[in-house]
Chains A and B, each alone.
Chain A
Amino acid sequence: MGRVLAVIIWIITLLSVLLFVSGKWWFPTAISDHAPALDRQFMITILVVGISFTAAQIGLGWMVWKYRDTGKSGDRAVYTHGSNRLEVLWTVITAFVFIALGVMGQSVWASLRLHDAPAGSYSVSVVAQQFQWNFHYAGRDNKFGRTDPQLIDDSALNFVGLDSSDPSAADDAVTAALAIPVNRPVELRLRAKDVIHNFWVPQLRFKQDLVPGMEIKVHFTANKVGKYELACAELCGQLHFKMKSYMLVLPEEEIQALQVLPQEQFQAKMVELLAKYPLPTN
């Protein structure tokens, strides 16, 4: 029985490792400036995870293989209550490895989250609502028009509560898909109208909750032109799985041309751009 268990544990370990290293399923190709550092940290971590997992399972298999009861009478186990030296050794080693990993893991986080978006960032205000994304662009004047929850009226298509009496609102546009420039820092100002939602683009390696009552500012830089799927990753109700949009990463000239268009033409142009760019193949 001990040998069977050992072999099964080893086979499970081997198959699990193979599934991870097969390369058939992995992250989609990254498109953000912070992603290489994040992916590297992930690789270091999963290497530690993989080695620890494999070593522990091989060790467990070895113990049950080698120390099975052979039924010899009078044959007793080794009498020991442990070893303080070993306890200290493995406590210190694991503490060092685990905490070092944890500290290393902070660098990407710190670079993204501990300071504001750099000057010259492209700002988009994001307003999520049950099963729909609204992206609010500042327009030609680079100033967001005033918004107020009192003015929200979904039936009149004023999804973000834009105040039309504010002069800086006149050139603003609101669309259901996100367009951002390539190779320029992007600042998103995230809000939610009803419940918590989450902005999630796998290729960006980036996720952030949108919380009602808060405006959360986040920033990142996308570095590959294209169209990417954008999902809600926080349970928001019945049609959560359908709360989908797209993120377009556009060349600077295309985003400049888009930015100055008034609402209707902006929307028409977005439809055109969404058709122009295909989804990534991996």
Chain B
Amino acid sequence: MSVEHHEGVHRHPAPTSFIRKYIFSVDHKVIGIQYILLALAAVLVGMFMSLLMRLNLSWPGTSWPILETLFPTGAPGGVMTPEFYLSLVTMHGTIMVFFVLTTAPQGGFGNYFLPIQIGAEDMAFPVLNMLSFWVTLAGFIVILLAIFVEGNQALGETFAGLGPSFAGGSGTVGPIGGWTGYAPLSALGKIAGPGQGAGMNLWVISIAIFCVGSLLGALNFITTLLNMRTKGMTLMRMPLTCWAWFTTAVLALLSFPVLLGGGILLLLDRIANTSFFIPSGLYVSGLLSGTNPNFPLHTGGSPILWQHLFWFFGHPEVYIAILPGMGATSHILATFARKPVFGYRAMVFAIFAIGLLGFFVWGHHMFISGMSPYSAIAFSVLTLSIGVPSAVKTFNWLGTLWGGRIRFTTAMLFALGFVSLFVAGGITGLILGQSSLDLPMHDTYIVTAHFHLVMGVASIFGMFAALYFWFPKMFGRFMSESIGKIHFWLTFIGVYAIFVPMHIMGIVGMPRRFSSFQEYDFLRSLDPLVMLVTVAAVITIGAQLLFYFNVVWSIFKGKKADDNPWEATTLEWITPSPPPHDNFAGVLPTVYHGPYEYAVPGAPRDYVMQTDLDTEVPSGNGHNGHKH
């Protein structure tokens, strides 16, 4: 394959107008930043919702006057209603999983750095890339509309004329269904209670739009990586970040269509009276299916089908969220330990193994769903085996640190935090992956603790690490290291204080998605832990304001950075900070070495850049390509 051949095809002139440069830009770097800004906006909404949830759980029935002002029907008298709480649960999960954990790691950092790291001028399909962002943004706007349509009485009623599933205004901030939207609750429409009307339609539509955006992005990532690597950039000389983004794109390409299909069927059940997920003979809110215009006849659907479709996507999705963080962590650990990545090949195989096995374990979300108990056994054993490549990655991260000369930048602290949190969150998969142990554990707080630590917080730590690390490249200025370190310590200790006690709550048996625990005697002993988690959450969320301040302040006032401030080896560090429109100012680099040649004996510096022509690097594990 000839790189030169592609060069001309994809070159597009640098834009001159503001709109083409910053808004409808086809430059992967601008699109990457747009994705990151989208995630930064979405995570604010999601965090604010988690704050409200914690307030409600720790001080049930307490009146918060500000809430009455903000949500007159959702919190009458300032007290949150159960349906208001449940809509917070749903919107928090949906916004965080889709618009934060799936946008910034892949669409954000992947978009910005994959082309540069493989020595390309842009993505393979720049216009498609622009579309994928704007489609994703449209999805975000649609999910935000759910807040207004459900929260505003008058607005909600204007939609009621469209049909029984369109009425809004139930005084919530969106639908009620959790981020998993289990049918038939999500399929029945207004009749199933508050939060099942217009908000749910918008939720399904938003997710369907998001699927389309992700598919466009995935196609682009795969094509770019396979076709546009520069001369000498063999697959096994790629940074591990590129392997992670590539695998993530493959997962997205194979899993999002299933969710898209499922979402369309769900929407049809809601607005066209189909029965994909609604069985016959339902009796809801005093009405039998088929006896009332508000509840038309349904027959022949399967609620479990939705769960299969959802989790066939949903399980790969957790790897879509965390694989880019793994890539960034490997990249950053090597850079600041001043050592080659330990077991590069094993790391590549492990990423692939996780991606592949990730498609065969979705049933562990459904052990007690009523599916065949025999398939539960298969899913359970497969699930435990996915722990093996995860452990291999952890061992290799420790191996990378071993014998290093570690520099504790903020980026490195967050990468180390990623390793710590990934282990802490991932290891409890050994419990939840066993069908027997799922009998007591399913849908309790131990599940909440597990997935928040591993796919939520660990992934976010990967993104923090990535931002502190690449910020100088993206904006030509460092983020403040002193604010960054305070941000790290508060967040690192804070998230442990939030999520470790949640495991204990799960063992005691506290169910998820309860707006109040006051009804149950067996949960009373947990009151002090519930309060501890709330206090920790308030402090941790408060600490994120430091991060937002740091981002904004550093863009304008941060210390200036040169081309290669971290003394790193990969291609993003040979080009100016920030890189020019075509990344390498018209001359594509040629690669001679593996990605992590640190501490090479006899080399003039303790790092050999991938483009360094004159430095001999001993042949070893991890670089087998053409040697100059």
**Chain A interface residues (CB < 8 Å from chain B):** 1-2, 5, 8-9, 12, 15-16, 19-20, 24-28, 38, 41-42, 45-46, 48-49, 52-53, 56-57, 59-60, 63-64, 67-70, 75-84, 86-87, 90-91, 94-95, 98-99, 101-103, 105-110, 112-114, 129-130, 149-150, 152, 154-155, 161, 193-196, 198, 200, 202, 205-209, 211-214, 216, 229, 231-242, 244, 279-280
Verify A102–B395 contact, CB threshold 8 A. Answer: no
- Known contacts A8-B492, A98-B384, A84 near B435 by CB under 8 Å: no
Least CB distance from A111 to B in Å reads 9
Verify B437–A38 contact, CB threshold 8 A. Answer: yes
Verify A77–B337 contact, CB threshold 8 A. Answer: yes
Q: How many A-B residue pairs have CB under 8 A?
A: 369
Least CB distance from A75 to B in Å reads 6
Q: Which of A1, A19, A79: most chain B Cβ within 10 A?
A: A79
- Say which residue of A78, A95, A212, A234 sits within 8 Å of B388 (CB atoms): A95
Verify A240–B513 contact, CB threshold 8 A. Answer: yes
| Contact residues in B for A161 (Cβ distance below 8 Å) | 283
Give Cα A48 to B185, complex, Å: 38
Give Cα A129 to B442, complex, Å: 20
Verify A99–B511 contact, CB threshold 8 A. Answer: no
| Contact residues in A for B430 (Cβ distance below 8 Å) | 45, 48-49, 52, 98, 101
Give Cα A12 to B529, complex, Å: 16
Least CB distance from A46 to B in Å reads 7
- Known contacts A75-B405, A77-B337, A102-B384, A233 near B444 by CB under 8 Å: yes
Give Cα A212 to B339, complex, Å: 57
| Contact residues in B for A56 (Cβ distance below 8 Å) | 394, 398, 420, 423, 427
| Contact residues in B for A236 (Cβ distance below 8 Å) | 185
What residue in chain B is nearest A244 (Cβ atoms)?
A: B519
| Contact residues in A for B283 (Cβ distance below 8 Å) | 129, 149, 152, 154, 161, 193-194
Per-residue CB contact flags for chain B residues 497-530 toward chain A (1 = under 8 Å, else 0) read 0001101110111011111110111100110010
9 more A-B residue pairs beyond the given contacts A49-B427, A213-B279, with a C-beta to C-beta distance below 8 A? A15-B500, A27-B507, A41-B434, A155-B286, A194-B184, A205-B439, A212-B279, A214-B279, A233-B443
Least CB distance from A172 to B in Å reads 19
- Known contacts A106-B435, A241-B519, A234 near B443 by CB under 8 Å: yes
Verify B346–A82 contact, CB threshold 8 A. Answer: yes
Give Cα A52 to B428, complex, Å: 10
Per-residue CB contact flags for chain B residues 535-565 toward chain A (1 = under 8 Å, else 0) read 0000000000000000000000000000000
Least CB distance from B170 to A in Å reads 9
Verify B420–A213 contact, CB threshold 8 A. Answer: no
- Say which residue of B343, B405, B437, B496 sits within 8 Å of A83 (CB atoms): B343
Verify A102–B381 contact, CB threshold 8 A. Answer: yes
Give Cα A148 to B396, complex, Å: 60
| Contact residues in B for A90 (Cβ distance below 8 Å) | 391-392, 395
Verify B622–A211 contact, CB threshold 8 A. Answer: no
- Residue B403 interfacial (CB < 8 Å): yes
Verify A193–B284 contact, CB threshold 8 A. Answer: yes
| Contact residues in A for B529 (Cβ distance below 8 Å) | 25
What residue in chain A is nearest B181 (Cβ atoms)?
A: A235
Least CB distance from B389 to A in Å reads 8
Question: Can you list 8 A-B contacts (CB < 8 A)?
Answer: A15-B500, A77-B338, A91-B346, A98-B391, A98-B430, A106-B435, A205-B440, A213-B279
